[in-house]
Amino acid sequence: MKLFTSTKTFQGGVHPAEYKELSENLSFEIMPNPKQVILPLVQHIGKPSNPLVKKGDDVKAGQIIAEADGFISVPIHSSVSGKVKKISTEITPSGFPKDSIIIDAADSNEIELKEPLNPETVAPEEIQQRVKWAGIVGQGGAAFPTFVKITPQPNQNIEAVILNGCECEPYLTRDYRFMIERTEEVIEGLRLIMKSLGVGRGYIGIEDNKPEAIKKLKEAAAKYDNINVEVLVTKYPQGAEKMLIKAILNREVPPGKLPLDVGAVIQNIGTALAIYDAVVKGEPQITAALTVSGYGIKEPKNLIVRVGTPIANVIEYCGGITEDASKVVIGGPMMGVAQFDFSAPVTKATSGILILTKTEENLHEETTCLRCGKCIEVCPIGLIPTKLSRFSQLDRFEDAEAYNITVCMECGTCTFTCPANIPLVQWIRLGKQRVLAMQKERKSA
Ligand code: SF4
Ligand code: SF4
């Protein structure tokens, strides 16, 4: 029998095999620094950062080596002490090459820190400035600059901050370990976000398959009467912003609108901790916490690694791959990106590296659509994936636009459920990119 059960959820969704058992009981390990780090100038949504260093410069860990370019951008700090080897175009986990600063690491492990601030007396503006300096980006996948999200704008009416503790992607256990190992600091991170935004109500949404974390969070939150730990049904994609808002606040975010439009701000557990570390410890975002898992890796682990560490080094540190390993994915299996070049680095928002075998990939041949309607049943935001995918295949982008393709959050729920094994989300993603480009052209015409 489950210790905690819930009926709070959203319409649709699926329940893929969890595979959490591979790593959920493994405490975080700190991986030794690599010999070289690759720091892409775009590790976030927004404009690339501008380099402040050149080949041959000595840098310290924690030093700003690229400044933010505009409002939606973040600075980048060196994640190791050492010497700038070059600035060149390197492959990134997105599959696209990007301008990057390559640093050869020295033996020194010291980090340049800012002075610690008292979380009880720190002013909202000081939190925002510290988070801006620290270069923090959202840990939930999108990598949006965090200081923008925690800085109130005129005419905004935010009533609640929700921390996403669902970690609904299979395999990933990084947020789970954070909630177990740094429970009090997660709550303090949430309080800092609430203070920064001037919001009086905070929630942590967590699925009912994590009883130990729920217990610890409830105990830690008990001393604050404005923070609730909300136990939610274990279902994918429960951690998506719109699904959390529906389950916790019973509000619908209309198509094309943002959580802000219904009075909510969502942050990830790892982001709350990065904010805590920046404010209370004076740390910039130079490490990434990630789960390395899958039956294709010899020693699954939860790791803290320096940003810029090549994927190949992480795999090697985890004992290497098994003979039947067949695919490497950055992120979770539902929304992650398959990798073809393991020299790509871990970036600020990397949450996992999965090494899957053929059996886990569950490869089946694609057949024609059975018109079963299952993809429509499970789409959490009420789209018609079968039509969207078809429009995309046929280059019918106006039709795809009319059927709201741009609203798709690329959660992969439709693809997971399709008995004909049609790569629906892959087609939809392509079509969405084309429609967004079309809309941009229309605006500039
Ligand atoms: S990927 Fe898009 S279309 Fe498919 S289920 Fe998710 S939101 Fe719906
Ligand atoms: S789930 Fe697959 S087979 Fe069924 S209607 Fe959708 S696309 Fe067709």
- Tell me what pLDDT residue 26 has: 98
CA distance 395 to 366: 20
For the chain of 445 residues, list the mean pLDDT of each consecutive stretch of 10.
Answer: 74 91 97 97 89 97 94 94 97 92 92 95 98 93 89 91 96 98 98 97 96 97 97 94 94 90 96 98 97 98 98 98 95 92 95 94 84 95 96 96 95 94 94 95 86
State if residue 213 touches ligand 1 by the CB under 6 angstroms criterion: no
Tokens for 9?
Answer: 């959820």
pLDDT at 3: 66
CATH number of the domain that residue 271 is part of: 3.40.50.11540
- 378 and 276 inside one domain: no
Residue 160 lies in a domain: yes
121 and 260 together in one domain = yes
Pocket of ligand 1 contains residue 422 by CB under 6 Å: no
What angle is formed at CA 199 by the lines to CA 195 and CA 205, rounded to 5 degrees? 100
Going by C-beta distance under 8 Å and a sequence separation of 6 or more, which residues neighbour residue 290?
174, 302, 303, 305, 314, 346, 350, 351, 352, 353
Q: Is 321 in the pocket of ligand 1 (CB under 6 A)?
A: no
- Please check whether residue 259 lies inside any domain of the structure: yes
| Domain end residue (candidates: 249, 281, 313) | 281
Please report which ligand is nearest the Cα atom of 379: 1
Mutate to test the pocket of ligand 2, among 369, 387, 403, 415 (most ligand atoms within 8 A of CB): 369
pLDDT at 361: 82
Q: Is residue 64 assigned to a domain?
A: no
pLDDT for residue 278: 98
Question: Residue 118, class by beta-carbon neighbours within 10 Å (0-12 exposed, 13-18 middle, 19+ buried)?
Answer: exposed
β-bridge partners, 354: 293, 329
- Do 236 and 378 lie in one domain? The reply is no
Distance between Cα 403 and ligand 1 center (Å): 12
| Residue after which a domain boundary falls, among 241, 260, 281 | 281
DSSP character at residue 30: E
Is 135 in the same domain as 268? yes
Ligand 2 pocket, residues with Cβ under 6 angstroms: 369-375, 386, 417-420, 422, 424
Q: Which residues contact 54 (CB under 8 A, 6 or more apart)?
A: 84, 87
pLDDT of residue 330: 95
Atom of ligand 1 nearest to the CA of 412: 1
Give the model's pLDDT for residue 143.
86
Domain that holds residue 120: 115-281
Distance, CA of 159 to CA of 245 (rounded, Å): 12
pLDDT at 1: 55
Contact 108, 116 (CB under 8 A): no
Out of 251, 281, 311, pick the residue that ends a domain: 281
Residue with CA at minimum distance from ligand 2 atom 2: 418
pLDDT value of position 142: 78
Domains: count for the chain: 2
pLDDT of residue 164: 97
> Does residue 141 sit within a domain?
yes
Residues 270 and 146 in one domain: yes
